[in-house]
Amino acid sequence: MSFPLHPNLPVVRRGDLAIVSFDRPDKRNAFDLGMWRGLAATLAALSQDETLRCVVLRGAGTEAFSAGADISSFAAERGSRAQEDVYAVALHEGMQSIRLCQHPVVAMIMGWCIGGGAGIATMCDFRVGGEDIRFGITARNLGLWYPYAEMDPVVQLAGTAVAAEVFIEGRIFSGREAYEKGLLSRVVPDEAVEREALALAGRIAEGSPLSARFHKAALRRLRGELPIPAAEQSAANAFVETEDFQDAVRAFLERRQPVWRGR
């Protein structure tokens, strides 16, 4: 299969490694609807490539891994419940494509790793970040209700106490703090992130690919399915109909603080 499957998601092959870049530096590599769909398609295609041994995800440049969802596209892509139901499926499939990829996936994290960008990182099997990265999920600042399936990796990695800091307090961690909280696999000086992430991917590739694929699938199997009914998961999309969300999006674009009314 030829790449890229999406123009903002180029793939570079280095032997038995595939490096996928989020290439939208003018938006801090933020994702719109098309990119979520492109991520799902790209990871699904790479998963089928039996000659691969590891996938690396990175942001273009060094300013950001990804700033998450592109808020400037919300009015067109997330303005109604019907639109949100469509968007939520694309986001979920994009995120889960990392978890479901048969190959180990390494996140190479430099700069901003915020919102959906941090969500992508927590879906990866390994996360290598710099000391001075900014890592957090700022759903509360927009009145968003983060999806159950995408909250789950944070709980699995760091526990409910840290998950409360992430989702309720809205903490933004440095790389060192994120590592100490269990959100990063390892932390290195900022200038060493690319070298360490690729070295890690190389060490993974040196091992048995069948063993790596089995163990990744086994860890997923041991976690099991989320004990949340599908209807309840879908109900989390109702935030898009709240005044708080609608005002928060306007506030972001107008560079002001939102007014929280609780409705």
Q: What is the pLDDT of residues 15-49, one digit of tens each?
A: 999 999 999 999 999 999 999 999 999 999 999 99
Q: Where are the beta strands (DSSP E) in the chain?
A: 11-14, 17-22, 54-59, 64-66, 105-109, 112-114, 126-130, 134-136, 186-188
10: its two tokens: 């180029």
The pLDDT value given to residue 1: 62
**Whole-number Å distance between alpha carbons of 131 and 162:** 19
DSSP characters for 195-251?
HHHHHHHHHHHHS-HHHHHHHHHHHHHHH---SS-HHHHHHGGGGGGSHHHHHHHHH
Query: Helix, strand or coil for residue 89?
Result: helix
Q: Which residues of the chain have pLDDT under 70?
A: 1
| Pairing outcome for strands 112-114 and 134-136 | parallel
Q: What is the pLDDT of residues 217-258, one digit of tens each?
A: 999 999 999 999 999 999 999 999 999 999 999 999 999 999
pTM for the whole structure:
0.95
145: its two tokens: 């209700």
Angle at 176 between CA 171 and CA 182, to 5 degrees: 70
| Pairing outcome for strands 17-22 and 11-14 | antiparallel
**Whole-number Å distance between alpha carbons of 179 and 187:** 6
Amino acid at 139: A
Residue 139 gets the label, from left (phi > 0), alpha (psi -120 to 50) or beta, of: alpha
Contact (CB, 8 A) for 24 and 30: yes
Residue 176's Cα: distance from chain center in Å?
Answer: 19
What domains are there in the chain, each with its CATH number?
11-191 (3.90.226.10)
34-39-42-43 Cα dihedral, nearest 10 degrees: -160
180 sits in which H/E element = helix 175-181
Under 8 Å CB-to-CB from 153, ≥6 apart: which residues?
99, 119, 122, 123
**Whole-number Å distance between alpha carbons of 169 and 124:** 24
